[in-house]
Amino acid sequence: MGTAGRPAVGGQQLDKRRHAFRNDLAAIELEGLVDAPRFVEGVVKRVARGSVPLRSLADERAGYDSELLYGEPFMVYDQKDGWAWGQALRDRYVGYVRADVLGAANGVTSHKVAACSTFLYPAADIKTPPIAALPMNAELAVADLGEIFSRLNNGGYIISSHIVPSSFKASDFVAVAESFIGSPYLWGGRTHGGIDCSGLVQVSLQAAGVGAPRDSDMQRLELGEAVLVRDDLSGLQRGDIVFWKGHVGILASPVALLHANAHHMTVVVEPLAEAVGRISAGGSEILSIRRLATPMA
C-alpha cells in the first residue's frame, strides 16, 4: 500500500522511523507486512566518524533526525549518489547518512566510551593531534588494553580511563545525564557537543544498560510504569521521567527537572514547578510521568 504499508498486528500502522521501507524497496524482514517492488537483506557497516547526522532525506540541508555514534552498527539497504539509506541497529531508527562515514563491520566491539567525550589519537601521546572526538557510548574494538592508553583494532589510541567494557552498566542514569549539564541543545543530537531532550534520556539510559527508543513519544509508551500525576506534583522521585507532547525531562530530585531544552538552549536543572508552569503557559500539559523498575541512587 505505497509508503504507508499494510497495518501491522493490532491494526497499527508501521512506524517508518523504525521500519525500513520506501516506495521502491524494503527490508527483507518486512516482506509480507508492506508492499514493495523488492526486498533486500542489507549489509551491516559501522560508523567510522565521531558522530554523524542521520536524516530523513538524502540532503545535506535537511535537519538532523538523530545522530549515529562512532562504532555504531548501521544496516545499509540502499546506496546511491554518495548516500546510504538504512537502519541503526542499536535503536532501529531509519534514515540517510553520507556513505563515506561508514566502514566495514569487522570484528566485535569490546568496549565503549564512558566519559562525556574523549579523543582518538594516532599514537599513545596526548600531544599528537587527535584523529577524532568520540562521544559517550561510542563502540570500540580494543586490541590492547593499557594502563594509560589502549590501542584499538584500527590502530588508534584512546585514554584507558575513559572507556569501560561493553557490558558495564552505570549505576545511576541520572548521574550520567547530569554530566551533560551545560551541553548545548541540538535538535536530533546525541552527544556532549549537542543533544536534545529525548537524546539525553536515551544516551543516559544506554550508559546504564537500559535500551531506550529514540523519540519522546516512543519513550513515553515503552519506558517504565506510569506514576500518578498529582496537581501539587508530590510523590515523585529522582529518576522519574516526565513527558509533555514533544518534550521529556528527568527528575534530578523530586522537585528539580533535568532536561535539554530549546528555552535555555542547553542542558539545565531547574525547579520542576517553574518548568511545568512555563511549558503549561506555552499550551502543553504533562502527558505522563514514568518510573523505571530500578530506583536511582
Count of alpha carbons within 13 angstroms of residue 164, beta-carbon side: 13
Terminal alpha carbon distance of the chain: 49
Q: Which of 104, 120, 155 is the last residue of a domain?
A: 104
Phi, psi of 227 (to 5 degrees): -110, 140
Cα separations in angstroms, 115 against 81, 138, 160: 36, 10, 11
Structural domain count, the chain: 3
pLDDT at 224: 97
Tell whether 116 and 183 lie within a shared domain. Answer: no
Tell whether 152 and 228 lie within a shared domain. Answer: no
Residue 230: inside a domain, yes or no? yes
Tell whether 16 and 61 lie within a shared domain. Answer: yes
pTM: 0.93
Cell numbers at 185, concatenated: 541543545
Residues 134 and 113: their CA atoms lie apart, in Å, by 8
pLDDT at 106: 82
Where the chain has pLDDT below 50, the residues are 1-11, 295, 297
pLDDT at 3: 33
Instruction: Give me the sign of the Cα torsion angle 218, 29, 3, 103.
Output: positive
Cβ 124 vs Cβ 148: under 8 Å: yes
Count of alpha carbons within 13 angstroms of residue 280, beta-carbon side: 10
3-class secondary structure, 197 = helix
Tell whether 150 and 199 lie within a shared domain. Answer: no
Tell whether 124 and 72 lie within a shared domain. Answer: no
Structure confidence by residue, pLDDT tens digits, 19-43: 999 999 999 999 999 999 999 999 9
Cβ burial 2-13 (10 Å sphere, 16+ → b, else e): eeebeeeeeeee
